[in-house]
Amino acid sequence: MIRTMKIDDYKEVRALWESIKGFAIRSIDDSYENIERFLKRNPTTSIVAEEDGKIVGSILCGHDGRRGCFYHVCVEESKRKNGIGKRMAKAALEALENEQINKVTLIAFKKNELGNSFWQELGWTFREDLNYYDITLNVDNITTFIQ
């Protein structure tokens, strides 16, 4: 079952993130409080996949009124290659379309070969015509990669 994520899903979604090798989790951005704030700001666009009452996939999805963005797209490793990711992406894109968002972006780590091939198979465009920049405003927002 694919459905909208609620803050009550946080504990299970966080456990899913922590189970995936190479997944990057930020100490502040991915805390309960900040995910709750994100979901309040974007109440209809984040998605989870449930199987037998257990969350097996998630997409944090939000927008700024102009562009949508996918964050933390994942499917439990044992459940991959069964269409769960495609169904979640479709649901999140439909939620953004319902809010009149016309363009969606995402970032995939270069080392994430599986993720990069997934997005290309779904027809997403790899951009070579721009540079991506960011700046950390809070040095306590530490990124941890799951080993």
- Return the pLDDT at 136: 85
Q: How many other C-beta atoms lie within 10 A of the C-beta of residue 135? A: 4
pLDDT in tens, 70-99: 999 999 999 999 999 999 999 999 999 999
- Return the pLDDT at 134: 85
For 92, phi and psi rounded to 5 degrees? -65, -40
Surface-to-core class of residue 132, CB atoms within 10 Å of its CB (0-12 exposed, 13-18 middle, 19+ buried): exposed
Confidence of residue 102 (pLDDT cuts 50, 70, 90): very high
2-145 falls under which CATH superfamily?
Gcn5-related N-acetyltransferase (GNAT) (3.40.630.30)
- Contact between 58 and 16 under an 8 Å Cβ cutoff? The reply is yes
Domain positions in the chain = 2-145
Instruction: Spell out where the chain has E strands.
Output: 2-4, 24-26, 47-51, 54-63, 67-75, 103-106, 143-145
The reported pTM is: 0.92
> What single-letter amino acid sits at 120?
Q
- Return the pLDDT at 147: 82
Distances (CA, A) of 135 to 60, 132, 139: 21, 11, 10
Confidence of residue 50 (pLDDT cuts 50, 70, 90): very high
